[in-house]
Amino acid sequence: MNSFHRPPRHPHAWAWLFAASQLAVVAIWWRWGWQPGLAALLVSHLTLVWATLRPQSRLLSPVLTRLPTAEPVVWLTIDDGPSDDTRAMLDLLDARNARATFFLVGDRAQARPELVGEIARRGHGIGQHSHTHPQARFWALPPMAMRAQIDDAQAALTQLAGAPPRWFRAVVGMANPFVAAALKRHGLARVAWSARGFDAVMQEPAGVASRIERDLAPGAIVLLHEGARHGRNVETLAAVLDRLDQHGYRTVLPEQLEAQA
**Mind listing the pLDDT tens digit for each residue in 151-173?**
999 999 999 999 999 999 999 99
Q: Does residue 5 form part of some domain? A: no
Cα(103)–Cα(225) distance, rounded to whole angstroms?
9
Domain co-membership, 29 together with 130: no
Domain co-membership, 113 together with 181: yes
- By the 8 A CB rule, do 171 and 135 touch? yes
Q: What is the pLDDT of residues 81-92, one digit of tens each?
A: 999 999 999 999
pLDDT at 2: 57
pLDDT higher than 80, residue 226: yes
Domain co-membership, 46 together with 71: no
pLDDT higher than 60, residue 1: no
Domain hosting residue 36, numbered range: 13-53
Average pLDDT over residues 122-142: 97
Average pLDDT over residues 125-148: 97
Q: Does residue 4 form part of some domain? A: no
Q: What is the pLDDT of residues 15-53, one digit of tens each?
A: 999 999 999 999 999 999 999 999 999 999 999 999 999
**What SS3 state is found at 175?**
coil
Q: Which of 197, 201, 220 has the alpha carbon at shortest distance from 209?
A: 197
DSSP string over 183-233: HHHHT-EEE--SEE--TTT---HHHHHHHHHHT--TTEEEEEESS-TTS-H
pLDDT higher than 70, residue 176: yes
pLDDT at 18: 94
Domain co-membership, 115 together with 212: yes
What values do phi and psi take at 58, rounded to 5?
Answer: -105, 10
Model pTM above 0.85: yes
pLDDT at 261: 67
